[in-house]
């Protein structure tokens, strides 16, 4: 599980519920470095297995549906549990989030994202923790090579669910990203809607495949049981897809199993 900074529960509670499931903490780097450091150290202490640094959300993209429905849950205090429980963030407030949640949400909005973050800051991020460090939102091989030279432990090829860089065809970029990684683990998500999509991404070289929106649909329709059903369907379809095509294990998959249909 890759657990976002924007969560409805404190990261410590989420980590405690993971059990044997590997969990990575997805850092939305705030413009307050001390808050960022606090998040990373909390994630490490809570037992997360790695830090995933989000690169494509230093500001929010243009989201017509959010605008149409006037939805911005953070400004109503939702999904900010990690901020509201963080001692460094709380020290920046004139009143506690419990006393003045509106003011706390506004302070979050002013501190979310960091447009000044550059490659030079990677050494600072790398120095915050001994946990594996992955960069999320990379789609160009030159960036992969630069990240690898800077000492990251993995690459996350993603278009942020199409909500940030909507025209980025992440699956088309995946092979070049994998080649540039030269053996470094490459995670992938973006537009995965079926077990067939999972198999395709694995065949193109992804080390692991993530899903976002499908489990959200499952949660809305059926809560925990809905999420479990979505996951079971994806895994069953992936397994059957491999079997029907004669591939007994993941190591049998390669780009040769796919056929490009131009046009």
Q: Give me the catalytic one of 69, 107, 140, 160.
A: 160
Q: In what order do the strands lie in the sheet with 2-4?
A: 2-4, 24-27, 50-54, 133-136, 154-157, 186-188, 208-209
Q: Using the Cα atoms of residue 98, residue 100, residue 105 and residue 107 in order, give the sign of their dihedral.
A: negative
2 bridge partner residues: 24
What is the per-residue DSSP string for 2-16? EEESS-SS-HHHHHH
Distance of alpha carbon 51 from alpha carbon 130, whole angstroms:
10
CB atoms within 10 A of CB 146: 16
Strands 154-157 and 186-188: parallel
24's enclosing H/E stretch is strand 24-27
Token pair of 74 as six digits: 């953070």
Cα distances (Å, whole numbers) of residue 62 to 53, 162, 163, 189, 213: 21, 11, 8, 20, 18
Distance of alpha carbon 243 from alpha carbon 256, whole angstroms:
16
CA diameter of the chain: 63
Please say if 160 is a catalytic residue. Answer: yes
Cα distances (Å, whole numbers) of residue 166 to 114, 115, 248: 20, 19, 35
- For the annotated catalytic residues, the residue numbers are 160
């Amino acid at each position: 599980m890759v657990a976002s900074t924007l969560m409805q529960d404190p990261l410590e509670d989420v980590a405690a519920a993971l059990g044997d499931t590997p969990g990575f903490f997805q850092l939305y780097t705030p413009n307050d470095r001390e808050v960022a450091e606090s998040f990373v150290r909390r994630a490490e202490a809570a037992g997360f297995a790695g830090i995933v640094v989000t690169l494509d959300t230093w500001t929010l993209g243009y989201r017509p549906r959010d605008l149409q429905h006037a939805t911005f849950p953070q400004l109503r205090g939702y999904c900010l549990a990690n901020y509201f429980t963080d001692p460094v963030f709380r020290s920046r407030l004139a009143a506690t989030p419990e006393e003045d949640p509106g003011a706390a949400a506004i302070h979050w909005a002013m501190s979310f994202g960091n447009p000044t973050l550059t490659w030079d800051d990677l050494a600072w991020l790398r120095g915050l923790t001994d946990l594996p460090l992955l960069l999320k939102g990379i789609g160009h091989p030159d960036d992969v090579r630069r990240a690898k030279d800077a000492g990251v432990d993995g690459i996350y090829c993603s278009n942020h669910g199409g909500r940030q860089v909507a025209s980025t065809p992440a699956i088309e970029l995946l092979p070049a990203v994998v080649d540039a990684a030269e053996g470094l683990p490459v995670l992938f998500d973006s537009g995965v809607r079926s077990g067939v999509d999972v198999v395709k991404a694995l065949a193109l070289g992804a080390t692991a495949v993530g899903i976002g929106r499908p489990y959200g649909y499952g949660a809305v329709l059926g809560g925990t049981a809905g999420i479990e059903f979505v996951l079971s369907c994806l895994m069953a379809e992936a397994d059957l897809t491999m079997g029907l095509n004669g591939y007994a294990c993941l190591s049998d998959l390669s780009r040769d199993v796919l056929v490009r249909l131009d046009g």
